[in-house]
Amino acid sequence: MSRKKILVTGGAGFIGGNFVQYMVDKYPQYDIYNMDLLTYAGDLTKHKYIETKDNYFFIKADIADRETILELFKKEQFDYVVHFAAESHVDRSITDPGIFVQTNVLGTQVLLDSSRAVEVTKFVHVSTDEVYGELDFDPDTFFTEETPLQPNSPYSASKASSDLLVRAYHETYGLPVNITRCSNNYGPYHFPEKLIPLTISRVLNDQKVPVYGDGKNIRDWLHVIDHCAAIDLVLHEGVNGEVYNVGGHNEKTNLEVVKTIIKTLDKSKELIEFVKDRLGHDKRYAIDPTKLEGLGWQPTYTFETGIAQTIQWYLDNKEWWEQIISGDYQNYFEKQYSINK
C-alpha cells in the first residue's frame, strides 16, 4: 500500500506548526506536506528538528493562487488535507479586513476545488469558536455545534464564510469534510501579537501590558497540543459532514490571565495598563466539547499546568521570540498601541 500523503496548510504558523510536528513524530508511515506562504506569522526555524526527517516536506505557496494550488494537487495527489492557513489576528482584521477575505475565504475555496479535483479522502477545516459570536457572562451558557453563526469581527466573518463554503462543498458535491471550531489556543511558538505570548514577552522585558477595556472579557483557553490531538482524532474518526467544537473548559478573564503570568514571573502588577477597548470586543467565549468527547477526546492540560509549561517554554526559547519582536513586529505593536491608547 502506498504511503498516505497529508497536506497541512499553514504549517509554519502557531497551531499548524505544532500540528505538523505532532504528525511527523506520531505517524512515520504518513508523508506530511507543510504548505505555507511564510507571511509575517510564518516561520520555519521552529521545524529545524523535523526538517531532517524523511516524512516531512515543505512547499511555499499561496492558497489563494488557484493555478499553482490546483497544479500542485494534481501532481501530488494528496489523500488528506488539514487546513489551518488563515489570517488569524482580530485586531489586524479591524484595521485591514481585505486580506482576511482574500486568504480565509478565497483561499479556502481554492483548496476545496482542488480537493474535489483529486477526490481527497478527507478535508478537515480548522475554524474557530468566534464564528458563533459572543456569549454573555452567564457561566452556564456554552457554544454547541448547533449555535447559530453570528460572527462579529471581520476575522470571524471571514472564518464563518469559509465554514459555510466547506459545508456547501459537502452538501453539493459530497466532499468528505469536517469542520473543527476551537477556543483560544496557547502554548509553544505562539506569535507574540496574541494576549498570552504578548504578556509573557513584555513582562519578561519589564514593559507595560495593554489590557483592553476593563479586562473582564472571558476566553476559554485550550493548550495547542490538546488541540492537535483533537484534530488528529477528527481526521481519523470524524463523521463526514460533521462539525466538532474543541474547548478546554478553562474560562478565564483576560485580567486573570495577565495576573497569573505576572505572578508566575514574580513581577509587579504595575505593568498592567488598561487601554481603550477593542472595537466590537466579544464578551465571552466558552465551548461545550461533549460531541468531541464522544469520539474519545479529553484535554490533558488544565490552564494551570498549561500556562506553567508555556511560560517555561518562553523562558527556555528566548531566542525564538526575541528575533520576532525585534523585527517588523515592533512597528505593528507601536501602531496597535497608539490605536488603543
Ligand X SMILES: Cc1cn([C@H]2C[C@H](O)[C@@H](COP(=O)(O)OP(=O)(O)O[C@H]3O[C@H](C)C(=O)[C@H](O)[C@H]3O)O2)c(=O)[nH]c1=O
130 Cβ neighbours under 8 A, 6+ residues apart: 90, 151, 152, 153, 155, 156, 159, 282, 285
Q: Should residue 93 be labelled a site residue for ligand X when binding is judged by CB under 6 A?
A: no
Q: Which of 46, 219, 223, 284 binds ligand X (CB under 6 A)?
A: 219
Q: Should residue 89 be labelled a site residue for ligand X when binding is judged by CB under 6 A?
A: yes
Q: Which of these is catalytic: 22, 56, 132, 155?
A: 155
Do β-strands 218-223 and 251-253 pair in parallel, antiparallel, or remain unpaired? antiparallel
Report, in Å, the least distance between residue 265 CB and ligand X: 17
Number of chain residues interacting with ligand X (CB under 6 A): 18
User: What's the grid cell of residue 12?
Assistant: 509554519
Q: Which of these is catalytic: 43, 87, 129, 282?
A: 129
Report, in Å, the least distance between residue 165 CB and ligand X: 17
- Percentage helix, strand, coil for the chain under 3-state DSSP, each rounded to 5: 45, 20, 35
| Polymer length of the chain | 341
Amino acid at 315: L
Is the CA virtual torsion 323, 328, 331, 334 positive or negative?
negative
Which positions from 187 through 216 interact with ligand X, judged by CB under 6 A? 194-195, 198, 210-212
From residue 252 to residue 281, the character string flagging contacts with ligand X as x (rule: CB under 6 A) and all else as - is --x-----------------------x---
From residue 139 to residue 178, the character string flagging contacts with ligand X as x (rule: CB under 6 A) and all else as - is ----------------------------------------
Report, in Å, the least distance between residue 157 CB and ligand X: 12
CB 232 within 8 A of CB 244: no
User: What's the grid cell of residue 290?
Assistant: 461533549
Is 145 among the catalytic positions? no
User: What's the grid cell of residue 76?
Assistant: 501530488
- Is residue 148 within a helix (H) or strand (E), and if so which, with residue range? none
Q: Should residue 90 be labelled a site residue for ligand X when binding is judged by CB under 6 A?
A: yes
Is 220 among the catalytic positions? no
Name the residues that contact ligand X, by CB under 6 A.
Answer: 88-90, 128-130, 183-184, 194-195, 198, 210-212, 217, 219, 254, 278
